[in-house]
Amino acid sequence: MENTEAMLTRPGEMSSESIYSSTKAFNELFKIGSVMSKTQLVPDNYRNRPEDCTIAIDIANRNGMSPLSVMQNLYVVKGKPQWSGQACIAMLRASKEFEHVKPVMVGERNTDDWGCYFKAVDRSDGEVVKGTLVTIKMAKDEGWYSKPGSKWQTMPEQMLQYRAAAFFARIYMPNALMGYRVEGEAEDIIKESLPIAPNPVMDDFEEKVRMEAEEVFENVIDQ
């Protein structure tokens, strides 16, 4: 597996607040997004889409990641943004709050007891914290394993680690994910027949960002 820690960088000097604080700041960001949208290095779903590239740059700035890493590891499934499992693990390892973050495999391989959890050391007090244990039995009980095209049957070890990383992040580092799901969750967890419960915190956050961006766009158009 490649070194995913390299995908995270130090946050840029431009804060998220300054991006939407003026038309000039937003235009500067949009120019960068426009340039990136024309390069062959960005994924197909971002190419020739300067607006999407601009938002990706904003997300990268908020999360201390490189814009290209965001574009390569953030995609939309069933209308919801979703991080790749690789990106989630990289975020855990780059955390300022924890160190020695690693997956722990338990149980006998290729049995229902085979599972994984993430553990790390809290930098503030040295306490070892453990995330939720995810097993093949859990995947079967939740209906993830039996879904058509499920990766749980073809690459179970990777799926165990991705899901365990997502659960750890959601408990101990929810801000890192910015409310987005992690690879496989949209396909596994979302049930078509049931509405998704709203997240008041993220709804308020996303509404604020939408209103800020909308105001800036209107100012650009009026000029």
Q: What is the pLDDT of residues 137-191, one digit of tens each?
A: 999 999 999 988 889 999 999 999 999 999 999 899 888 787 788 888 877 766 5
* pLDDT-derived band at 215, boundaries 50, 70, 90: low
Laid out side by side, the sheet with 181-182 consists of 74-77, 80-83, 181-182
Name the residue type at position 40. Q
Q: Which of 57, 61, 25, 26 is nearest to 42 (CA)?
A: 57
**What is the pLDDT at residue 17?**
52
Q: How far apart are the first and last CA of the chain?
A: 49
Is residue 83 within a helix (H) or strand (E), and if so which, with residue range? strand 80-83
